[in-house]
Structure 1
Amino acid sequence: MDDLTARVRAFAEERDWQQFHTPKNLAMALAGEVGELVAEFQWLTPEQAGAVVSDPEAGGRVQAEIGDVMIYLTRLADVLGIDLKEAALAKLAEVAVRYPAEDVRGSAGKR
């Protein structure tokens, strides 16, 4: 993660884009990219969605959109000074307490 963060930061700095990379702008860009990723799955059956990466054209688009999402998320976390790995691990620990495996196995219900 540190290497990716450094590369994304350098990419922005080389283009003097830091001035545009406010948390608000990055969050909005991230939401837009997530929307583009969602659009790749719109109207697909569960089976088609599960096999999307086996289609060279559609799979390539999905991979590119996931890359865009990761880049914007990485940049947003960097600008805010948030360690993505630590944030994810903390959230996973929190959710594990809220949803103990023995209580929720096989259920998609919210608590």
Structure 2
Amino acid sequence: MNIDTIQAKLRDFAQERDWEQFHSPKNIAMALNVEAGELLEHFQWLTQQASFDLEPDKKEAVAQEIADVQVYLCRLADLLKIDIEGAVERKMALNEAKYPADMVRGKAKKYTEYR
């Protein structure tokens, strides 16, 4: 399913329930943050290695939270008429410029610390 299809389905879902009245960019951004927190909760207190080795039921719960985050991101972009693919391409180009591979390989500093 591509982003346009997801957004159309989400639009229909909201319309069928008369929820568009609640779907302001502000409210969707807030809901997105709540869902991101729920995703984070699954990893709280895990070691680095344990975060890779999730039990199947935990992995499915994480998948559901990832889906919730994606749903709200798609809905927010749709409401604001933001082309997600274009925004991602532009951001990746900016990140490539801020983090040249030959300069940052194997390091985890913020780009401002390399200049």
Tell me what 1:105 maps to.
105
Give the whole-Å Cα distance in 2 for the aligned partners of 1:32 and 1:90.
26
- Secondary structure, counterpart of 2:89 in structure 1: helix
AA aligned to 1:19 is Q
Give the whole-Å Cα distance in 2 for the aligned partners of 1:104 and 1:56.
35
Structure 1 runs of 4+ with >2 Å offset: none
Give the whole-Å Cα distance in 1 for the aligned partners of 2:42 and 2:34.
13
RMSD of aligned Cα (Å): 0.7
TM-score, normalisation: structure 1:
0.95
Question: Residue 108 of structure 1: CA displacement?
Answer: 0.6
1:1-111 correspondence runs (5 A):
1-52=3-54, 55-111=55-111
Question: Residue 5 of structure 1: CA displacement?
Answer: 1.1
- Point out where structure 2 has 5 or more consecutive residues left out of the alignment: none
AA aligned to 1:46 is Q
Cα deviation, 1:1-48, whole Å, max 9, x if unaligned, reads 111111111111111111100011000000000000000000011111
Q: Identity across aligned pairs (percent)?
A: 50
